[in-house]
Structure 1
Amino acid sequence: MDTAIKHDVIIVGGSYAGLAAGLALGRALRKVLVIDSGESSNRQTPHSHNFLTQDGTAPAAIASIARQQVSAYTTVSFLNDRVVSAKKLDSSFEVSMPFGESFTAKKLVFATGIVDLMPDIPGFAECWGKSVLHCPYCHGYEVRGQKTGILANGDSGYEFCMLIANWTSDLTLFTNGNSTLTHEQTARLHNHKINIVEDQILKLDQTNGYLSSIQFKTGRAELVTALYARLPFQQHCDIPQQLGCELGEEGYIKVDAAQKTSVSGVYACGDNVTRMRTVANAVSMGTTTGLMVNKELVEEEF
């Protein structure tokens, strides 16, 4: 038998997607516990963009306002902690904290994000989210027309160059070793006056996370003020996999249109399920998740 179920829903991860899910569920009168460790992946990014009414606002400020608004709903509570394990009971789930405390709920929502895996290039991590960027839709306008680089190779590098060329005509592709572009791709990039540099990178010269140049192992340097890169990643939290949630080929948690994972009663939303990595998209998915979780609870209880 299950122990006494204290919550309708436990949300693991209290950033944009998790807070949006909590807001929808709070407004549906659901008893919700949001557990968050305060380790959002964009915590060093100075400004968020492409989010209506909040364009240019610091991500931390958006999250702070969101938490204040969600806190107004008395059925939603918060815990600043980290979930270390979870298990399925008869008709609920139990999550455990580092020091043995546990909580139960009928449904689980994972809004736990991902961890970017930084290359072994000195200065790169310091610049990530400031002048080394993952998304032109989030940051491209602010560095438009500037001397810009792309750290990539092969098909990915070629496709990234096509995209970024919309924001600047002063563009260089850094392959960090021998190019794997096809002859046709190389010719097309050259026709668009996009330089290709195959030298291996030694380090990034930066001040407080803002890039000034790239130093190469050959001893030469190149001035660059913005650099785009698509990094490999891993799930920030592996508990969904422990519960049996399936991952797709790219490493994201598989969900359907209702944000349901492959495990009944477990939902996921935000950066852990999609490469569409924007605050606006995370909020949208979180809201959808809250609505769908409540719908499932209503259907089970009516």
Structure 2
Amino acid sequence: MEKQQLDVAIIGGGPAGLNAALVLGRARKQVAVIDEGRPRNAVTREAHGFLTRDGISPADFRRIAKEEIIAYPNVSFVADKAVSIAGVDGQFQIVTAEGISFETKKLLFAVGMKDRPLDIPGLVEAYGKSAFVCPYCDGWELRDESLVVINKGEELLHFAPIISGWTDRFTICTNGPDELTEDQREELRRHQVPVYDSPIRSIDSNDGIVHQVVLQDGTIIPCRGIFFKPELIPGSDLPQSIGCDITEAGMVVVDDFGKTSVPGVYSAGDVASKMYQAIAAASMGALTAAAMNNELNMEAWKRNG
């Protein structure tokens, strides 16, 4: 089968990849968005904080985005998974799980992050319904409620003041040693924040709506919601396989224009930023797409001059 020829292949169809596709489509570039349709936020009923789309379901967000993008016939969507990438700037080769081959001048990794398996009993059932990771996304719905925060160490001292803007009725469960200094424990005591370091035995919920957290020592903490720190890993190992510099946390290293350490390869969205917000990912995708288009146009200009 003849390889499909592209200007840009976008790996990942979340907000970053979709907004990049829109910008590149309008710039008259031949683009394919390769995405297997398994977004991390699929467990979430509603996405918030995105102007004109506040409260939309992730599935509806993608549907509306694709309806807008298909107005540009030079953009195609491929419901598949990229499994191998080779080549160099100007001539990358991609093969998907279903055996489709592409040749592309530039690559954009918008593969996002994914959760490691959630090992606290009952957390999977509540995730996306009453257990969340980001108060900017879901804090309003749990305002003034009794919450449990599952976190530990230095990050806990960052998160506690933030969540206090939505409710002052929260209890901290560190699910093991708290990894706090005595000064940090005293700070939490001054703010009358209870801290429990006993491991969590279970999170009890009805239809995903939590009503209590039970600890190994028998402590029962009634609550109406949970915020927890997820353990994230990259949505794909392809950026590393092609030689992109990766941080210890697994993020792709990029410059202000989304360029990776590999010529012709760009990255945007959650895999390239710690700003885990849909609107931030979309913005990054748009700006990176403009940088890619500029590079393609400059290369064509020099070839034809």
- State the TM-score bracket (shorter-chain normalisation): over 0.9
Partner of 2:219: 220
1:150 equivalent to 2:149? Answer: yes
Partner of 1:60: 59
Partner of 2:285: 286
Separation (CA, whole Å) in 2 of partners of 1:18 and 1:52? 18
Deviation at 1:90, TM superposition (A): 7.0
Contact 2:233 2:249 in 1 (8 A): no
Equivalent runs, 1:14-93 vs 2, <5 Å: 14-89=13-88, 91-93=90-92
Is the alpha carbon distance of 1:100 and 1:232 closer, same or farther for their aligned partners in structure 2, counting shifts above 3 Å?
same
Contact 2:88 2:263 in 1 (8 A): no
Letter in 2 for 1:182: T
Deviation at 1:4, TM superposition (A): 6.7
Partner of 2:247: 248
Gaps of 5+ in 1: none
Deviation at 1:206, TM superposition (A): 1.5
Letter in 2 for 1:144: R
Gaps of 5+ in 2: none
Equivalent runs, 1:105-254 vs 2, <5 Å: 105-254=104-253
1:58-108 CA deviation, whole Å, 9 max, x = no partner?
121111100110111010011100010100147311110124321111001
Contact 1:255 1:262 in 2 (8 A): yes
Deviation at 1:48, TM superposition (A): 0.9
Contact 1:7 1:105 in 2 (8 A): yes
Deviation at 1:258, TM superposition (A): 0.6
The TM-score, its normalising length taken from structure 1, stands at 0.95
Separation (CA, whole Å) in 1 of partners of 2:74 and 2:192? 58
Letter in 1 for 2:266: Y
Contact 1:110 1:268 in 2 (8 A): yes
Letter in 1 for 2:51: L
Partner SS, residue 272 of structure 1: helix
Partner SS, residue 270 of structure 2: coil
Separation (CA, whole Å) in 2 of partners of 1:242 and 1:183? 43
The TM-score, its normalising length taken from structure 2, stands at 0.94
Separation (CA, whole Å) in 1 of partners of 2:196 and 2:56? 35
Partner SS, residue 161 of structure 1: helix
Separation (CA, whole Å) in 2 of partners of 1:167 and 1:140? 6
Partner SS, residue 6 of structure 1: strand
Separation (CA, whole Å) in 2 of partners of 1:49 and 1:235? 23
Identity of aligned residues (%): 37
Partner SS, residue 85 of structure 2: strand
> Which deviates more from structure 2 when the two are superposed, residues 119-128 or residues 253-262?
119-128
Separation (CA, whole Å) in 2 of partners of 1:139 and 1:166? 13
Letter in 1 for 2:190: N
Partner SS, residue 84 of structure 1: strand
Contact 1:269 1:285 in 2 (8 A): yes
Is the alpha carbon distance of 1:211 and 1:90 closer, same or farther for their aligned partners in structure 2, counting shifts above 3 Å?
closer
1:262 equivalent to 2:261? Answer: yes
